């Protein structure tokens, strides 16, 4: 009862917030007329994948593709909680239908299951929507949690987390990224657990193997050392840009800020004292000059492939907003530098322990990390070997599910 009341209150706050906050407005508007827009299916086996946002979609995508290959006639439904996931994926989703997940009320969950009738359900990483899980279990669907990751301070292991703890027992099997997660689950009695690893390694390694050239960046980057700054926030930029202006970082630089609104792009431009060009200007016909030192990616969808041309990467978000994807640059052999706040991202510490990443908390430690990687020619081989060693999670998940069918 308390959980359901909390969900209704949460929905009320989002509607109120939609009057002032663009992301909340997208969340609310994206769910309008939901029941009138969904497809009507007949005699199709439906498999449902639910992802919180874009990062979880990237973790689920290898399994979606593997499932589609093994069961080509199945209908794949992909749902999102966050607008940042749905808006980025809706036009290129692996799913046959992609939508927002309705608010997790009992009524919505029951209606959702009665309409779609999924036979198999995958919840990716942290996602636990209690009423939808209960409705799916009651409908007879097989439930799986994939690429799951748990920490001691998660609500599942606290005195107040009983509702969420019970929800874990609804899953037929839970595939976790690390042994620690399995240990934590075992302590509360959840035994149907396999340490499969992180499916994102399969995703990024596959993408890195694609021979996909960017016709704008490739000629400019040819035979050059490139420092790629990905998903940067103002704190990241404030630390790094002075080294570019003083030519202590004297290679070419690609910078892809997390926020690409006009005001933030202008802030970066105002701080730069070296030659730069905007990616969108080049798309619109401006020549990318060979001597330009900084290429600013003022659009989305380019960064993941831009890492292909890099030698060292800095990934933003580690100063408070949440560390962004460090696997993408590493898949191309780039050692990674990031800020000090990364405890929620176990892959970050694993990178550090294997000598392919450095965490920095001030200007000096950033430049020391950059200099170290720049002077280590073998580092890219080391990074690629590490990524290769982490592949295989998708195969483990699929084999376990197929053996239990």
Q: Supply the residues annotated as catalytic.
A: 56
Pairing of strands 252-257, 294-296: parallel
CA–CA separation, 205 vs 133, rounded Å? 32
CA–CA separation, 326 vs 301, rounded Å? 16
CA–CA separation, 130 vs 127, rounded Å? 9
**CA-wise closest residue to 277 among 260, 263, 291:** 291
Q: What are phi and psi of 229, to 5 degrees?
A: -105, 110
CA–CA separation, 298 vs 260, rounded Å? 5
- Is 327 in contact with 244 (CB distance < 8 Å)? no
Say how many C-beta atoms besides its own lie within 10 A of residue 29's C-beta: 12
| Beta bridge mates, 278 | 296
The alpha helices in 18-98, defined as continuous H runs, are: 22-29, 34-37, 54-70, 83-89
Q: Two tokens at 229?
A: 């700054």
How far is the first Cα of the chain from the last one, in angstroms, to the nearest whole number?
35
Query: Measured at the alpha carbon of residue 144, what is the angle toward residues 140 and 145, in degrees to the nearest 5?
Result: 145
Chain center to CA of 122: 16
CA–CA separation, 150 vs 170, rounded Å? 17
- Is 16 in contact with 90 (CB distance < 8 Å)? no
Instruction: Name the DSSP letter for residue 251.
Output: S
- Distances from the Cα of 44 to the Cα of 51, 66, 76, 114, 119, angstroms: 22, 18, 10, 14, 10
């Amino acid at each position: 009862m308390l959980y359901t009341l909390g969900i209704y209150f949460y929905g009320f706050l989002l509607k109120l917030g939609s009057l002032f906050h663009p992301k909340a407005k997208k969340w609310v508007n994206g769910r309008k007329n939901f029941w009138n827009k969904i497809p009507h299916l007949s005699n199709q086996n439906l498999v449902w994948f639910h992802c919180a946002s874009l990062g979880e979609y990237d973790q689920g995508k290898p399994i979606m593709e593997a499932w589609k290959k093994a069961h080509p006639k199945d209908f794949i439904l992909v749902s999102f909680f966050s607008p940042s996931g749905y808006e980025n994926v809706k036009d290129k989703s692996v799913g046959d239908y992609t939508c927002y997940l309705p608010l997790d009320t009992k009524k919505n969950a029951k209606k959702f299951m009665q309409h779609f009738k999924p036979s198999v359900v995958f919840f990716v990483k942290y996602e636990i929507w209690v009423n939808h899980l209960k409705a799916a279990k009651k409908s007879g669907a097989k439930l799986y949690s994939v690429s799951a990751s748990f920490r001691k301070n998660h609500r599942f292991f606290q005195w107040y987390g009983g509702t969420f703890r019970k929800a874990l027992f609804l899953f037929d099997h839970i595939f976790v990224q690390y042994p620690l997660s399995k240990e934590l689950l075992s302590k509360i009695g959840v035994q149907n657990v396999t340490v499969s690893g992180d499916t994102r390694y399969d995703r990024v390694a596959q993408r890195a193997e694609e021979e996909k050239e960017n016709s704008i960046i490739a000629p400019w980057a040819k035979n050059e050392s490139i420092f790629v700054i990905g998903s940067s926030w103002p704190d990241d930029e404030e630390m790094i840009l002075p080294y570019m202006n003083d030519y202590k970082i004297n290679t070419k630089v690609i910078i892809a800020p997390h926020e690409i609104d006009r005001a933030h792009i202008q802030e970066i431009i105002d701080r730069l004292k070296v030659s730069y060009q905007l990616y969108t200007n080049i798309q619109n016909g401006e020549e990318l000059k060979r001597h330009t030192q900084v290429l600013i990616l003022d659009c989305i969808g380019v960064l993941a492939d831009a890492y292909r041309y890099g030698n060292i990467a800095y990934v933003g978000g580690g100063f408070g907003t949440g560390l962004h994807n460090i696997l993408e640059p590493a898949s191309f052999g780039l050692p990674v530098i990031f800020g000090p706040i990364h405890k929620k991202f176990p892959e970050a510490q694993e990178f550090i322990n294997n000598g392919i990443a450095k965490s920095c908390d001030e200007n000096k430690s950033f430049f020391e990390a950059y200099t170290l990687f720049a002077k280590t020619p073998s580092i890219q081989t080391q990074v690629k070997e590490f990524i290769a060693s982490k592949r295989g999670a998708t195969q483990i998940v699929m084999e376990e599910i197929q053996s239990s069918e």
